[in-house]
Structure 1
Amino acid sequence: MERSDAQQPGLIGSLAGVAKNSLRLVLTRVELAAAELSEVRDHLVHLLVLFALAVLAAWFAIAFGTATLVFLVWEELGWKILLILAVVFVVVAVALVMTILKQIRRGLLALPATMAELKADRDMLL
């Protein structure tokens, strides 16, 4: 009498079933982690672009601030435009940095669904 793997009674059949289910669980978690890592990669690229813009704006603020100090000795009105530009770039740099910090605090790089599923798996097994 031949029996298939699904019909094997006893300890061996139960262990095979547990192994199959465990493998499916691991594969499901790996797929979830891969999907979340893709999202994290997109958020990381977005944050890197914002950071690059913040650095660029900060450099412009430094350049115009320095130029403003040089031109402050002049008694003409030309220095006021440079001062206004320096203030604008400082405001832009601060706004970009605040946006970066807000996105980091929101947890966009944290893999929340994967961590919740792994915690639920751990709680179920223990």
Structure 2
Amino acid sequence: MEKSAASQAPGLIASLAGVAKNTIGLLLSRLELASCELAEARNHALRLLAVFALALVAGLFTVTYASVTVVYLAWDALGWKILPIMTAGFLVLAAGLLLYARALLRQGKLSLPATMAELKADRDMLL
């Protein structure tokens, strides 16, 4: 009996070591995937920020020059009433642009879909 118990002990320890090795390997592969996705998400965020900043500057110049032109041309016909009309127009434009930006963010490019799916699959397999 002692011989069979002694022969099973190294097998049990080896099995536990194998499980620990596989678990560490799994965690390392998940960390690598997460780091790749975080780098990709960071690049998307930086690109979005740069495009937004350039669009904002160009848009401000365009709005300024267009506003001055419209006010100058309409002042004789409408007088001071052109200013609230222009304000309402810009308010509608700003609301539309905010809704568009919100829709772009909801596309999920800044989330980590592959990492989250793998972690969920791992959780489901373990539980």
TM interval, shorter chain, is 0.5 to 0.7
Identity %: 50
1:73 to 72, 75, 92: 75
**More helix as a share of residues:** 2
Question: Following the alignment from structure 1 to structure 2, what is the Cα–Cα distance between the partners of residues 96 and 15?
Answer: 55
**1:114 matched residue in structure 2:** 115
Task: Give the unaligned 5+ runs of structure 2.
Answer: 1-9, 78-88
Verify: 1:55 aligned to 2:56, yes or no: yes
Would you say the 8 A contact 1:51–1:96 is kept in 2? Answer: no
What are the Cα deviations for residues 80-117 of structure 1, in whole angstroms up to 9, with x where unaligned? xxxxxxx9xxx8xx67983x444322210111000000
TM-score scaled by structure 2? Answer: 0.64
Length, aligned pairs only: 102
Verify: 1:9 aligned to 2:11, yes or no: yes
Partner of 2:75, secondary structure, is coil
Cα RMSD between the aligned structures? 2.9
Question: Following the alignment from structure 1 to structure 2, what is the Cα–Cα distance between the partners of residues 47 and 111?
Answer: 17
Would you say the 8 A contact 1:50–1:96 is kept in 2? Answer: no
Question: Following the alignment from structure 1 to structure 2, what is the Cα–Cα distance between the partners of residues 25 and 55?
Answer: 44
> Aligned-pair distance for 1:59?
1.6
